[in-house]
Amino acid sequence: MSYPEKTVEAVMAYVNATTWEHKKNIVRANRGELLTDTADSVLNKLIEDYRDDEEAAKILQMYRDLLSACREDGIDLAFHGVVPLDIPINEVIDYINAKEWSDAKQMVIDKRDILLTEEADQVFSLLLQRHRDNPDLIDKIKESRELLARCRREGIDAAFSDRCIEVPENVANALWGYINAPTWNEAEQIIRANQDILFTDVAQNFFSMLLRLAETKNDRGMLSLMLSRREALLRAKKKGIDDAFRDYR
């Protein structure tokens, strides 16, 4: 598919500008070309062309999102608070997308001079603005940001202590079965059948990790259920199962 030469030139000038101020001026001067579906298609084609270069594709997508924000919110608002081009966006995105918490922790250890900086935190502000219409992604970004904040306050090992937990499969299965039991009677029976597992420190630490994740996701229903189940489990361990579940029968 061919695109108008004027639009392509405007898009390339915008993409290749080396500062945000320069980009903003280009958008102002070429809003008739850049704030259009055609320009969006040109950028989408560029992203497809660079699909084998993950870093380049990420940057191009950010530029595309910024033009979309200009169309929706206006140029000044879209560019408000935008961070310098030398921000560590790739490092932050790789950290957010880590498949395992252990991988994320290793990234922070290896790149602490980058990820534990104000510049990295600015990237999170930018990503939250760009993805404000994607609640699931927003939750993930916020969780990742808070974890880095904890790394700065408490140290990397302490911040990841409730996430990088080796949990045996039988412990995870027993705990999830207890948490998700449809009734309190069934929850009680699960504890009776698995108290040698559920009363261990490993299970308690895993429960703490799950609670923190629920808090981060702001899932009030699940958090309320987990807190009540946690209280009952701790009481059962301390005072006995009959005493712990007396009020739930």
Give a three-class secondary structure readout of 209-246: HHHHHHHHHCCHHHHHHHHHHHHHHHHHHHHCHHHHHH
Q: Quick one: pLDDT band at residue 83, thresholds 50, 70, 90?
A: low
More confident residue, 44 or 54: 44
Mean pLDDT in residue range 204-233: 83
Whether residues 149 and 241 fall in one domain: no
The Cα 1–Cα 43 span in angstroms is 13
pLDDT at 100: 82
Whether residues 132 and 197 fall in one domain: no
Strands (E), 15-174: none
User: HSE on the CB side for 78, CA within 13 Å?
Assistant: 23
Whether residues 116 and 209 fall in one domain: no
pLDDT at 237: 92
Number of structural domains, the chain?
2
Q: Does pLDDT of 84 surpass 60? A: no
Whether residues 136 and 51 fall in one domain: yes
Whether residues 148 and 175 fall in one domain: no
Whether residues 146 and 36 fall in one domain: yes
Domain boundary (104, 137, 160) is at 160
For the chain, the average pLDDT equals 87
pLDDT at 249: 67
Domain boundary (160, 182, 202) is at 160
pLDDT at 85: 54
Q: Quick one: pLDDT band at residue 209, thresholds 50, 70, 90?
A: confident
78-82, 215-219, 233-237 — which one is most confidently predicted on average?
Answer: 233-237
pLDDT at 145: 93
Whether residues 128 and 101 fall in one domain: yes
More confident residue, 139 or 217: 139
Q: Does pLDDT of 30 surpass 70? A: yes
Domain boundary (160, 191, 215) is at 160
| Nearest alpha carbon to residue 228 among 196, 195, 169, 181 | 181
Q: Are 164 and 101 in contact (CB under 8 A)?
A: yes
Domain residues for the domain of 234 are 169-248
More confident residue, 56 or 94: 94
Whether residues 9 and 122 fall in one domain: yes
pLDDT at 86: 58
More confident residue, 135 or 26: 26
SS3 assignment, position 158: helix
pLDDT, one tens digit per residue, over 99-117 is 888 889 999 999 999 999 9
Whether residues 32 and 76 fall in one domain: yes
Whether residues 204 and 238 fall in one domain: yes
Q: What is the pTM of this model?
A: 0.47
More confident residue, 221 or 152: 152
Whether residues 142 and 198 fall in one domain: no
Whether residues 24 and 118 fall in one domain: yes
